[in-house]
Chain A
Amino acid sequence: MPVHPVILVILLPLLGMLANLSLAHRLREPIPGLIAITAAGSAFFAALWAAGTVGAAPDGVVHVHLLEWIAVGALQVPWALRVDALSAAMMVMITGVGTLIHLYAVGYMRGDSRYARFFVYLNLFLAAMLLLISADNYLVLFVGWEGVGVCSYLLIGFWFDKPHGQGVKNSTAGRKAFIVNRIGDAGLLIGFGLLFWNFDSLQFDAVFAGASLLPAGDPLLVAITIGLLLGALGKSAQIPLFVWLPEAMAGPTPVSALIHAATMVTAGVFLILRSEVLFTLAPVSQSLIVAIGVLTALLGASAAVAQRDIKRTLAYSTISQLGFMMAAVGMGAYTAALFHLITHACFKALLFLSAGSVVHALEGAAHHAADSPSTHAGQGDDAPFPQDMRQMGGLRRRMPLTFWTYTIGALTLAGVAPLAGYFSKDAILGWAAEHDPAAFLALAAAAGLTAFYVGRQWIAVFFGAPRSTMAASAVESPSIMTRPLLLLAGLCLVGGALNLPGGGALTGWLGAEEESFHLSVAIASLTLAAGGLGLAILIYGRAVHRSADAVWRDPLETRAERLMKVMRQGWWIDKLYRRTFIRAFKRMGLALKAAEETELVFDRLTYLGYNRLTEALADADETLFEGLEHSTTDFVQELAGASERTQTGQLNWNVVGIIGGLIVVFAIVATIGAQR
């Protein structure tokens, strides 16, 4: 069989990783980045090539069998890949956005002490993500699934050694992400187990064929899909497992953009898209997904309204947008969900990278100010925290390029026509209006909130007067960072063309029939976007200009301080977990630990008369043995001393003993064996 390009798609990032891993100590700064970019970029072209083969394949599916893996009894799991419309679309998106983010990271990570390692992780992540989406059975998918989880963990805690407790916070955030995801993975594994148990296979086609023989709503299918769903909820940060994502922002910004916005977090949505057949047959799970998606969309959007941290706003926005996708897959709007997944990857990556550009500029300014004590010494009452929007403002003039790319990203997220986000969100809303009016209303409200919070952020960051010395002295980021921003902004401008209403390319590509465009819905969603943005400008536009003393005052916070606080902390869900599960767990541990020993009771048993006997023996003269002590010769003593010196008590040396024994015994056995 000729080598299929999909192998290259996975292999190239892996090679990039290996190259960086083995050469990391030798290479000077930009080289590891360039290697990683080359790997990611060539994977992109390989992905295009692979996508090209889909059309020619029978049924539009290419199966690539790499190696035998597990073959025990009925369990036959090979390393096999699958390229079809869904995985090809994801593949192109991931490698494309990934390459741009790699480019950006070269600038962003400049001067970092673990520069090469960062790119090792990034390339490893790409390889794992690509394996996830191009797997041909659930187990290979799971390998990718766990691989991206590990990379996420490694990259969230990438700056684990930052001073002032920040490093500890970062690594805690990484652990939290890993552990929360693990809860979901337990469900996923149970789902896999049930799949194999009932269908004797983990291969997608075989499972789907087996499942479609069952009647819709079969309890088995409900159990399986709920297991899979649990995994998806963890990975895609949905209620109730979303709590890790806001804290995952502790990682470097390119990581937030690539892993925690554009690609990895969509893996949950992808899993459901991939298992579409199963979910379609389980209406109970479908409606559960819709409920969770809608609730998450609302929760995320409302929490984003109250954030002060530029990246946390975007994190909650991601949660909310993932809720949109979840709701869409729950309602059966698979094409719309994939469409929104792809456009979201573009505009959220753009927003994150622009935000990163802002943070980078502020960090640079703060660093600069710290170096020259003469400027503004003692003026700022707050410690400089470059991600805090309260310390920004007025960056429109200082960072014009970032401002414009951010504006495009914000408008796309808000859903302003004719940008990409408008079409994809409209596709979901249109479908919802047709199939589930209640969900439509909730999603529309979330869409309005979305426009509002993105407008709030846009104004807080770029308008008004600079509210800190950092913001006042920030300079535009280098071109290696702004160029990917421009490219992504271009994608956001034209991305809607991917699936214009009325026979779009994506719908045709996926071979789906579903279409739902309603003029009324389109107008309503535009109105919502405009209304949300307008409201934000109305409230915050005046606020930033009115405050002459250059201090951030949030008009909503002065009105509804308590509500805003609850929303800022993610509706206290995290706190709830801490109060219930974590506290209960800790209590349990302490209860097990707290065993207080009391004095023993078994005091008096029978007394045997042996003490008398021994006393008699004890009187034996000690001098009897005196002579013996010195009777060993000097020679033996010498020998004893010498052998004692070999007992160093050092583990390394002990292992040398083991290895020495190994060699000697093998030599003896070989000699005897040769004689026989």
Chain B
Amino acid sequence: MIIDMYAAGIAAVFGLLGIGLYGLMTLRNLIKVILSLQIIGKAAVLAVVVAGSISGEIAVAQSMAASVIVADTLVAVIGLALAVQMQRCHGSLDLRTLSMKFHTPPEAENGG
């Protein structure tokens, strides 16, 4: 291959990580947040695979990648289940409005 696969892989890791983190910082919709998480997950999987091929431990890396994908899927499943539940009892997937509901400044609540 003409392109250096390692450099390309590392660049892709950084790219995916950047996209995911940017998404987490800017998006409010829970499903999109989960998508961003998945993108970061893919960056991590790619990082593992690239690392494995650099150090020649490709078999280790492949089995790690497979396990990470499983874990990642579990996370997505639970996240989406939470999304279903959120839609059900909050009526929207907007995280900002959900959090606003409960983050009342302590002064507002009359204690004692």
Complex interface: chain A residues within 8 A of B96 (CB): 650, 652
Does A73 have its Cβ within 8 Å of any Cβ on chain B?
yes
Residue in B21, B24, B59 whose beta carbon sits within 8 Å of that of A72 in the complex: B59
Q: Mark B48-91, 1 if CB is under 8 A from A, else 0.
A: 00000000001100110000000000000000000000000000
Best-buried of B26, B95, B96, B106 by chain A (most CB within 10 Å): B96
Q: List A residues 604-652 near B (Cβ within 8 Å).
A: 644, 647-652
**Residue A591, interface by CB 8 Å:** no
- B62 touching A649 by the CB < 8 A rule? no
A70-B62, A72-B62 as given contacts; A652 in contact with B21, CB under 8 Å? no
Contact with B along A314-358 (1 / 0, CB 8 A): 000000000000000000000000000000000000000000000
Please tell me if the beta carbons of B26 and A71 are within 8 angstroms of each other in the complex: no
Chain B residue numbers with a CB within 8 Å of A652 are 24-28, 95-96
A496 to chain B, nearest CB (A): 47
Nearest-neighbour CB distance to chain B for A645, whole angstroms, equals 8
B58 touches A72 (CB 8 A): yes
By a CB distance below 8 angstroms, the chain B residues around A655 are 21, 24-25
Query: A70 contacts which chain B residues (CB < 8 A)?
Result: 62
Q: Given A644-B105, A649-B102: A659 and B26 within 8 A (CB)?
A: no
Chain A, interface size category, equals 10 to 19
> B99 at interface (Cβ–Cβ under 8 A)?
yes
Contact B58 A71 (CB under 8 A): yes
* A73-B59 contact in complex given A644-B106, A649-B99, A650-B96, C-beta closer than 8 Å: yes
A residues near B59, Cβ cutoff 8 Å: 72-73
- In the complex, which residues of chain A have a beta carbon less than 8 angstroms from the beta carbon of B100? 649
Question: Quick check: A650 and B99 within 8 Å, CB to CB?
Answer: yes
Q: By DSSP majority rule, is chain A's interface helix, strand, loop, or mixed?
A: mixed
Q: How far is B24's CA from A620's CA once the two chains are assembled, in angstroms?
A: 51
Q: Which of B59, B99, B100, B103 has most A Cβ within 10 Å?
A: B99
Instruction: Judge whether B25 and A656 touch: CB under 8 Å.
Output: yes
- Given contacts A656-B25, A659-B25, whether A651 and B103 have CB atoms under 8 Å apart is no
> In B24-39, which residues have CB < 8 Å from any A CB?
24-28, 33
Which residues of chain A are within 8 angstroms of B106 by Cβ–Cβ distance?
644
Count chain B CB atoms within 10 A of each CB in A70, A73, A647, A655 and give the residue with the most.
A655
CB distance from A607 to the nearest CB of B (A): 33
Contact of A651 with B33 in the complex, beta carbons under 8 Å:
yes
CB distance from B29 to the nearest CB of A (A): 11
Q: How far is the CA of A656 from the CA of B26 in the complex (A)?
A: 10
Instruction: Tell me the complex Cα distance, A530–B25, Å.
Output: 69
Interface residues of A in 59-106 (CB under 8 A from B): 70-73
Which of A71, A650, A651, A656 neighbours the largest number of chain B CB atoms within 10 Å of its CB?
A651
| A648–B95 touching, CB < 8 Å | no
Task: Collect the chain B residues with CB atoms within 8 Å of residue A72's CB.
Answer: 58-59, 62-63
Complex CA–CA separation, A655 to B40 (angstroms): 13
Cα–Cα distance between A650 and B96 once the two chains are bound (Å): 6
Residues of A within 8 A of B62 (CB): 70-72
Give the contacting residue for A648; candidates B25, B28, B103; CB below 8 A.
B103
Task: List the A side residues contacting B24 at CB < 8 Å.
Answer: 651-652, 655
Q: Report the bound CA distance from A75 to B102 in whole Å.
A: 52
A125 to B100, CA, bound (A): 43
Whole-angstrom distance from the CB of A646 to the nearest CB of chain B? 12
Residue numbers in A under 8 Å from B105 (CB-CB): 644
- The residue on A at minimum CB distance from B26 is A652
CA distance A655 to B28 in the complex (A): 12
In angstroms, how far is the closest chain B Cβ from the Cβ of A182?
15
A70 to B52, CA, bound (A): 12
Listed residue (B25, B58, B63) with the most chain A CB atoms within 10 angstroms of its CB? B25
Q: How far is the CB of A40 from chain B (nearest CB, A)?
A: 28
**A651 partner, pick from B21, B63, B95, beta carbons under 8 A:** B95
Contacts of B102 in A (CB 8 A): 649
A648 to B26 alpha-carbon distance, docked (Å) = 15
B26 contacts across to A, CB distance below 8 A: 652
- What is the CA–CA distance of A652 and B26 in the complex, to the nearest angstrom? 6
Cα–Cα distance between A648 and B99 once the two chains are bound (Å): 9
Per-position 1/0 for B8-23, Cβ under 8 A of A? 0000000000000100
Question: From A71, which residue of chain B is reached at the shortest CB distance?
Answer: B58
Question: What residues of B have a CB within 8 angstroms of the CB of A647 in the complex?
Answer: 103
Q: Which of A70, A71, A650 has the most CB of B within 10 A?
A: A650
CA distance A391 to B79 in the complex (A): 47
Cβ–Cβ < 8 Å partners of B27 in chain A:
652
A651 to chain B, nearest CB (A): 5
Q: List 15 A-B contacts (CB under 8 A).
A: A71-B58, A71-B62, A72-B59, A73-B59, A648-B99, A648-B103, A649-B102, A650-B96, A650-B103, A651-B24, A651-B99, A652-B24, A652-B28, A652-B96, A659-B25
6 closest A-B pairs (Cβ-Cβ)?
A: A649-B103, A655-B24, A72-B59, A72-B62, A649-B99, A651-B95
Known pairs A70-B62, A72-B63, A655-B24 / 7 extra A-B pairs, C-beta < 8 Å: A72-B62, A644-B105, A648-B103, A650-B96, A652-B26, A652-B28, A656-B25
B interface residues, Cβ below 8 angstroms from A: 21, 24-28, 33, 58-59, 62-63, 95-96, 99-100, 102-103, 105-106
Chain A contact residues, CB within 8 Å of chain B: 70-73, 644, 647-652, 655-656, 659
